Structure 1
Amino acid sequence: MAIRAGEVYVNPPCRQKIVVRRAAAETGGERSLMDLYVSPGGFAADYHVHPFSEERFTLVRGRLRVSIDGRDEILDRVGQTVAVPPGVTHRFFSACEDEETFAVVAFRNRADRFENLLLRQLFGLADGGQSDARGIPNLLQTALTLREFSDVLRFTSRPWPVQRALYGALAPIARLTGYHACNPALERRPVRTAELEELPPEVALQVNA
């Protein structure tokens, strides 16, 4: 079942909530807009790259620190935008101690696969208590899921050739013990919906460009 606008996904370990603003299914799978809410202390799960896709953050309120290739960008003005090109290591963090940060994230190229990985799989596992304090599943689950979706996300804590070899060795064990790259229970899981917040004009201009 395709992900739809208004659906809500939460990741308690990472202190994140995402409300889908424009689903990839509306754009032929190529572009997705997501309202990202990050509580104080919240973060993206580990440093990572999107090999073929661009990710763009536009601030609505609060403060967001985006680390891009070892350099920090602080978003602290409404409508301020930062883009992460394909293949560049990055991670984001809340930069607010006392309020929630809200940014719109635009993901271009293979957005349908990214939605399935991030929202259905990684957020679904985290919301179900099946990930660690960083929001990352156990090694057997990671071996299948990150191998299946390596075209849209790769963690950078280890070199990719090392990860690929490790995941390849673990994948048969993971399957034998009942793991799935795309957990069917997460595909069928009921999803909450919410009304979308109205965006300030300067943000709407950026995200709809």
Structure 2
Amino acid sequence: MIRTGDVIHNSITGETIRFVETAADTDGERVTVDVLVEPNGFVASAHLHPYQTEVFEILEGSLTFKVDGAVIVAAAGESVTVDPKTAHQFWNASETTARFRCTVTPALQFEQLLETMFALANDGKTNKKGLPNPFRLAVIANHHFDDVRLPFPPAWVQKLGLIGGAPTGRLLGYKPTYTPDEVGEVAVV
């Protein structure tokens, strides 16, 4: 369980997150994190949050965003707001580390999703983009369908795919959460 002050790092995407406010601190109202993104670092994939707003306040350096198809380069002192159901992604195209504060409202299961994806990457259980194999991803995506989705195909098509993929992933032993201490895991390539 994530607590205020906890720090997690993703060795694949080059992101380090420090939790400033957690869902427990705010009664689920929001999560606030400070994020360092190394040069060439990135969020794992383009995505959208069906019910959450994200506000990115750039504190140091610059970050490139793609929000609803528009490319935005935001520098220190600027902010980018991403409304629910808006496709977005970010990356650090600069030669210096970027730092931003992100507030996600409402919190939902955002912390758990980050904790799971970062732990998988650090244990070598993702590809070079930071994504796990399709069956494990189906289990995670099905569990977090209210937190995050792909921008395309439409949500109903994604859910249809998860109807088959998630049960298969569970049969293979995958869970919607992951901690590095899990034992007896089956490797699926």
TM-score (norm 1): 0.82
Q: Judging by fraction of residues, say which structure has more helix.
A: 1
User: Which letter maps to 1:173?
Assistant: T
Rate the CA distance shift 1:28–1:158 in 2: closer, same or farther, 3 A. Answer: same
Is 2:91 the partner of 1:106?
no
1:54–1:107 contact (8 Å) kept in structure 2: yes
Match in the other structure for 1:24: 23
Match in the other structure for 1:178: 173
Is 2:158 the partner of 1:163?
yes
SS in 1 for 2:165: helix
| Identity %, equivalent residues | 33
Q: CA RMSD in A?
A: 1.6
SS in 2 for 1:65: strand
Consecutive unaligned residues of structure 1, counting only runs of 5 or more, are 189-209
1:58–1:103 contact (8 Å) kept in structure 2: yes
- Superposed CA offset, 1:147-175 (max 9, x none): 11110101225333222112111222211
- Superposed CA offset, 1:180-207 (max 9, x none): 1123x3588xxxxxxxxxxxxxxxxxxx
Match in the other structure for 2:185: none
SS in 2 for 1:56: strand
Consecutive unaligned residues of structure 2, counting only runs of 5 or more, are 183-189
- Asked which structure has the greater RCO (Cα within 8 Å, sep 6+), the reply is 1
1:25–1:112 contact (8 Å) kept in structure 2: no
1:65–1:73 contact (8 Å) kept in structure 2: yes
Match in the other structure for 1:71: 70
Task: Supply the distance in 1 between the matched residues of 2:37 and 2:169 (Cα, whole angstroms).
Answer: 32
Is 2:122 the partner of 1:127?
yes
